[in-house]
Amino acid sequence: MNRPYLMAYQTVAQTGLTTGAFSTVVLDTLGGIVHADTGDNYGGWSTGASNLYTAVVPGWYLVCGEFFTANASSGTNTVTAGLLPSTSGGRTPSTTPDYYQAAQATTTSGTGGGATLLALQYLLAGETITPQVMGSGSGYGSTYATQAGTGAGGLFASHLGAVWISE
C-alpha cells in the first residue's frame, strides 16, 4: 500500500578516507534533513559496518544523493559520487561502483566539494545499494574527510534517498 522509501544523512564526518579510491559513505541518521521525517518506512536501512539499503520489494527504485568532502588544501581536486549495488536484477555489474557526477572541489573555506547521483536502479528483494564517495587530487593529500552536520549546518551533510517506483 505504501511505497518503500529511504531518507538518510550524515551527522558525523568521516576522516582518513583514501584519496583516489571509493569509500562507503556512513549515513548515521534516518530521516529527512529538513523535516525529520520517518526516513525508512520498511526497515531496509542497515547502519554500522554494512551501511546499505536492502530492497524490501522487487522493482525500480529512484535513488538520489549528494556526498560532500571537506576542503582540500590546494590544487584542482574532484569529488565523485557512486552507488555500489550488490547485484541488480540478479546480475552482477561489470564495473563497480556505478559512478555519477565528478565535480571540482574548491579550496574556499567552508565550501569543500560535493557530487550528486541520480539513478534508476532495478533491485530484486534482498539486493542492496551502498552509497560511495571518492575524493581525488593532490590537494587532499593521501587522505580526505567528508563534511557533515545538522540544522543550518546540514546544508553540506551527505545524504541519500531512495523510493520504490514500480515493478
Q: Taking the domains of the chain in order of start, what are their residue ranges?
A: 5-166
Instruction: With cut-offs at 50, 70 and 90, classify the pLDDT of residue 75.
Output: confident
Length, in residues, of the chain: 167
Tell me which residue has cell 530484486. Answer: 124
Q: How many CA atoms lie within 13 A of 77 on its CB side?
A: 31
Q: Residues 49, 52, 54, 60: what is their CA dihedral angle, to the nearest 10 degrees?
A: -170
Report the pLDDT averaged over residues 86-91: 90
User: What's the pLDDT at 48?
Assistant: 74
Chain segment 45-64, per-residue pLDDT in tens:
998 778 999 999 999 999 99
pLDDT given for residue 35 in this prediction:
67
- Could you give the CA distance from residue 98 to residue 84 in angstroms, rounded to a whole number? 6
Residue 14 pLDDT: 93
**Cα dist from 12 to 78, 102, 147, 158, whole Å:** 22, 23, 8, 10
* pLDDT at residue 154 is higher than 80: no
pLDDT of residue 150: 59
**CA 158 – CA 6 distance, rounded (Å):** 14
Q: What is the DSSP string of the chain?
A: -PPPEEEEE-SS----EETTS-EE----EES-TTT----BTT--EE-TTS-EEE-SS-EEEEEEEEEEEPPPSSS-EEEEEEEEES-BTTBPPSSSSEEEEEEEEP-STTT-EEEEEEEEEEE-TT-EEEEEEEEESGGGTTEE-B---SGGGGGG--EEEEEEEE-
Q: Read off the pLDDT band of 95 (50, 70, 90).
A: confident
- Fold that domain 5-166 belongs to in CATH: Jelly Rolls (2.60.120)
- Nearest CA-CA partner of 68 in 27, 39, 36: 27
Taking the model in full, what pTM does it have?
0.90
User: What does the mean pLDDT of the chain come to?
Assistant: 87
